[in-house]
Copies of this chain bind each other. A is one copy, B any other.
Amino acid sequence: MNFDLENYLKTLRPWIEKALTHYIETSPTQSALLTKAMGYSLLAGGKRLRPVLVFAAAQACSEKNPLELKDQVLPVACALEMIHSYSLIHDDLPAMDNDDLRRGRPTNHKVFGEAIAILAGDALLTEAFAVITQTPTDKVPAATLVGIISDIADASGGNGMAGGQIIDLEAEGNPLKPEELEHLHRCKTGRLIAVAVTSGARLVQAAPPLINSLIQYGQSIGLAFQIVDDILDIEGQTETLGKTSGSDEAHQKSTYPALLGLEASKEKARGMVDQALASIAHFSTAADPLRAIAHYIIQRQS
C-alpha cells in the first residue's frame, strides 16, 4: 500500500472544519455565550478522526472519491464530531474527571463555568441529531438516515459511550481486570468510532456483509486507539498531548500499561491494528484510507 494519508487528511480536514463552523454559525442559539462555548470546544482542532472515518468507510464501500461523497457524507461526519465534542466537555466537568486542560487549552467549564459547559454539551448533542437530518435526501434515502440515527443514538447512549463513562467513574480506585478494561474502552471509545465507520458504509448503501466487516474493523481500531491513548498518557508530554499527562494515574484509573505493562500494551495495540487490517483484507484499494488510518492510530504522538 502506498497511500498518502497526510494528503488525504489535508483534503478532508478543511471541509470538516468549514462545515462544523458553518453549523455553529448558522444554527442560531438563544445566547451568544452558548454559541461561543459550543464553538470553543468543537472548533478547537483535534484529529477529526470520527468524521475522517465516515469518509474513508463510504469510500471503501462505494469506490467513489471524497469529492464525489462530500455532500452526502459531511452532515453525519460532522454530527459524530459534535457528539464526540459534547462527551469531552461533560467528561471534563468537576463532577466527572475534573480536568483543567484539553487540547492545550483550559477546559470548557474553566472558561465558561459549569452551567454553560453542561448546556453547551447538551446543545451539541441535540444539534448533532438536527445536523444528521440535513443530509440531502436525494442522495441518501430517509429510511437509511433513520437507521443511522438509531445506530448513532445506540452507540452514544447508556449502552455505549455514556455507559462507558459510568463504568469509568465506578472503576476509579477499583483496579479492573484486563477484560473489564477492554469492555470499558469498547463502550466509552470503541462504539462511537465503530459507528463512524458503519455510518459511512450505510450512507452509500453498502451491503450487510461489508458493514459487518467494518464493525470488526471499527471495534479493533477503537480499542487500539484507546490503548495508545493510555500509553501516551504515560510516555507523552503534556505539551504534545494538549492535556495533562499522567492524569490517569492521578485519578487511579485502570490503564493498559498499568495492567499489562508498557511493552505488552504496545503489542496488544499492534495486534488490534492487525485484526482491523485483516477484517478489511478483502476490500479493494478503495479501502486504503481505512488501512492507512489503522496504521496511523498506533504511530501518532498525540
Contact = CB atoms under 8 A, between A and B. Distances in A.
A153 B129 contact: yes
A146 B114 CA distance: 32
A133 B149 contact: yes
Nearest to A157: B126
Nearest to A86: B122
Q: Majority SS of interface residues in chain A?
A: helix
Contacts of A27: 157-159
A158 B35 contact: yes
Interface in A124-182: 125-127, 129-130, 132-134, 137, 141-143, 145-147, 149-150, 153-154, 156-160, 162-167, 169-170
A298 to B, nearest CB: 26
B146 A142 contact: yes
Contact of A116 (B33, B141, B166): B166
B31 A123 contact: no
B95 A127 contact: no
Given A133-B147, A153-B126, A159 B119 contact: no
**How many copies of the shown chain assemble into the complex?**
2
Nearest to A127: B157
A143 B138 CA distance: 11
A163 B90 contact: no
Contacts of A156: 126
A121 to B, nearest CB: 8
Interface string A222-256: 00000000000000000000000000000000000
A29 interface: yes
B143 A30 contact: no
A93 interface: yes
Interface in A86-118: 86, 90, 93, 95-96, 113-116, 118
A38 B158 contact: yes
Interface residues of A, number: 56
A187 interface: yes
A34 interface: yes
A114 B117 CA distance: 14
Contacts of A30: 158-160, 163-164, 166-167, 187
Contact of A31 (B115, B116, B143, B167): B167
Closest 9 CB pairs of A and B: A30-B163, A29-B158, A95-B114, A130-B153, A126-B157, A133-B150, A142-B142, A123-B158, A142-B143
Interface of A: 27-31, 33-35, 38, 86, 90, 93, 95-96, 113-116, 118-119, 121-123, 125-127, 129-130, 132-134, 137, 141-143, 145-147, 149-150, 153-154, 156-160, 162-167, 169-170, 187
12 contacts: A27-B159, A29-B159, A34-B166, A38-B158, A96-B115, A96-B118, A116-B169, A119-B158, A133-B146, A137-B146, A141-B142, A142-B143
